[in-house]
Amino acid sequence: MSNRYKESNRLIKKALDVIPLGSQTFSKSITQFPRGVSPLFIERGKGSHVWDVDENEYIDFINGLCSVTIGYSDSDIDYAIKRQLDSGISFSLPHRLEMDVAQIIVDMVPGADMVRFGKNGTDVTSAAIRLSRAYTGRDHVAVCGYHGWQDWYIGITTKNLGVPKEVSNLTHVFEYNNIESLKKIFESNKDTVAAVIMEPMNIEWPKDDFLHEVKNIVKFYGSVLIFDENITGFRYANGGAQELFGVVPDLSTFGKGLGNGCPISAIVGNRKIMKGMKDIFFSSTFGGETISLSAAKAVLNKIKNDGVVDKLSTIGTSVILGFNRAVNKYKLESILDIKGHPSWSIVIFKDSATYNGLQIKTFIMQEMFKRGILFTGSHNISFSHTKEDIEKLMTVYDEVFDILSMSIQNGTLENLLEVDPIQQLFSIR
């Protein structure tokens, strides 16, 4: 165990006694980090940098699981939050901020006529499914991608304990860029599919007019098309992936970067379907909480006015190019690949003849943490990332890939691993 993480290791022992997995979020838990060689608790952040409880500094490429799009402690967003804090957080009637933020989203997002707010992505994806079922009078759902923890989705994953089979049986999975897999769901479930919900892009770019084809099929069968833009929204384009790819869904959901770390999400869509919100039950005490709304308003204005999306793409492109140069330099193409959009790229760890992908991933994480890079397999770019941050990242990749290449050639990688490799407990894409 490294002394570098002495306080993290002390705190996780206390946390595990009172919190299952030691965290409120699966992706932030000890299941995702090699224990003993990882920072497990963050103390503070500023811009693109964070400091753990042991005062180790990192350039952060996790960024609150893609929720921190602008950067930590941004002065404009903090000012908006502090100003609203002086007036109150939750009230007995709606606050005008609900209207203000909804109008900005309607103006920015092609498929938005009306808006309702939640607190996280699962809230609004589940609301979209309930609304679609109410609108169509049907029960079945076709899914592609990750859509949160509620029964209707998580029941078809390996994390399905506690979900009734009757619920799981209503959800069907299709493959991205495989239009035939979607057609089969409709053909096997005649007139029973309420909605198709999908990430408009995950790690693969849409091919052969895939998204347009999906929309045409959904329309033909009288179902509802839902884009889950919790990641792609306000990141791939100002109006989300639907703007980037020119395909407007019936409903879409947004979250993560909408509040730059504050808990807020939104379901938006065409007026005809969204009016069904008066008939279904979708309500929460904190849905109109003003701190998150004030943050969202500041975030959206920054995205509109400050060229945020363009910078995310520019910085992210340099990351992808630099990563590929390092992979080619050290002849690691057989075990490392990178996919996705420049603003959110994902590293693919593949098995070598001697070592599996999880061993390779664990080693890379271990060594990147030592060198001040917070990384778990993706590059979640923020507006605060600088040219110097990317240069540091490339220097670290160069150092780590050099060691990795030699250890694989020599068959000594296991000797360099300071802890047991992490285990793949749950795959979401």
Q: Which residue has the higher pLDDT, 386 or 3?
A: 386
Domain at 75-305: CATH code: 3.40.640.10
Assess whether pLDDT exceeds 60 at residue 2: yes
Residue 3's pLDDT band (cuts 50, 70, 90): confident
Assess whether pLDDT exceeds 70 at residue 26: yes
Mean pLDDT of 27-56: 95
The rounded radius of gyration (Å) of the Cα atoms in the chain is 22
Assess whether pLDDT exceeds 70 at residue 425: no
Assess whether pLDDT exceeds 60 at residue 135: yes
Q: Categorise residue 66: left if φ over 0, alpha if ψ from -120 to 50, beta otherwise.
A: left
Q: Token digits for 166? A: 């009757």
Strand order in the sheet with 171-173: 114-118, 265-269, 251-254, 224-228, 193-198, 140-144, 171-173
**Among the CATH numbers 3.40.50.620, 3.40.50.300, 3.90.1150.10, 3.40.50.720, which is that of 3-61+308-416?**
3.90.1150.10
The structural domains of the chain, with segments of one domain joined by +, span 3-61+308-416, 75-305
Give pLDDT, residue 141: 98
Mean pLDDT of 21-43: 93
Residue 197's pLDDT band (cuts 50, 70, 90): very high
Q: Token digits for 173? A: 């999975």
For residue 206, give Cα distances in angstroms to 15, 209, 253, 358. Answer: 42, 7, 19, 28
How many other CB atoms sit within 10 Å of the CB of residue 326? Answer: 21
pLDDT for 301-328, tens place per residue?
999 999 999 999 999 999 999 999 999 9
Residue 429's pLDDT band (cuts 50, 70, 90): low
Residue 424's pLDDT band (cuts 50, 70, 90): confident
Assess whether pLDDT exceeds 60 at residue 205: yes
Among 2-16, 249-263, 374-388, the range scoring the smallest mean pLDDT is 2-16
Assess whether pLDDT exceeds 60 at residue 182: yes
Model pTM score: 0.95
Residue 423: burial class (beta carbons within 10 Å; 0-12, 13-18, 19+): exposed
pLDDT for 230-282, tens place per residue?
999 999 999 999 999 999 999 999 999 999 999 999 999 999 999 999 999 99
The percent of residues above 90 in pLDDT, for the chain, comes to 96
Assess whether pLDDT exceeds 90 at residue 46: yes
Mean pLDDT of 381-397: 98
309: three-class secondary structure by DSSP: helix
Q: Please give the full DSSP string across 268-297, using - where no structure is assigned.
A: EE-HHHHGGGGTS----TTTT-HHHHHHHH
Give pLDDT, residue 423: 84
Among 51-55, 149-153, 425-429, the range scoring the smallest mean pLDDT is 425-429
Assess whether pLDDT exceeds 80 at residue 427: no
How many other CB atoms sit within 10 Å of the CB of residue 141? Answer: 27
